[in-house]
Amino acid sequence: MAVEILVKNVANNDSVRMRVESNEKVSDIIDSAAEYWKKDAGAYVLKKGKTLLCSSDTAVEINLMNDDILEMMPDPEGGRK
């Protein structure tokens, strides 16, 4: 069964509603959101409340419900230069 959720982009304060099938993975949600915001550089992660979501988990495994809010955040990688 599909659920409708809201994905927020922490970097630009924008958000998008998304329909997610129960067998879809967190990585699919990240890819769809990244495509929507045309993100082509950098890595990013998705969190639900105070939990960082595991990319291989499905919507069922993370207990995704209608109107849940997920936040997409940039994942920094610099520090040596």
Partner 1 sequence: MIVSGFSNRDRFDRMRRVNWIDVDSIHKTRCLVVGAGALGNEAVKDLVLAGFRDITIVDMDDIVVSNLSRCLFFRESDVKKAMKANIVAERASELDPEVNIRPLSIRIQDLDEWDFDIILGCLDNISARMHTNSHAYYYGIPYVDGATDGLYGKVQVVLPNGPCLQCTMNRSHIREMEKRFTCTGSGSTYVPKIASDITTTSVIAGIQVREVMKIVSGRADMCIRHVSYYDGNKGEMFTVEATIDKECQNHIYERTK
- Phi and psi for 73 in degrees, rounded to 5? -125, 145
Print the binding letters for residues 31-60 with partner 1: x by CB under 8 A, - otherwise.
x--x----x-xxxxxxx--xxx-xxxx---
* 30 sits near partner 1 (criterion: CB under 8 A): yes
Cβ atoms of 7 and 16 within 8 Å: the answer is yes
The widest CA-to-CA distance across the chain, in whole angstroms, is 47
* 15 sits near partner 1 (criterion: CB under 8 A): no
Based on CB atoms, which residue is closest to partner 1, 38 or 76?
76
At its nearest, how many Å lie between partner 1 and the CB of residue 60? 14
Cβ atoms of 75 and 43 within 8 Å: the answer is yes
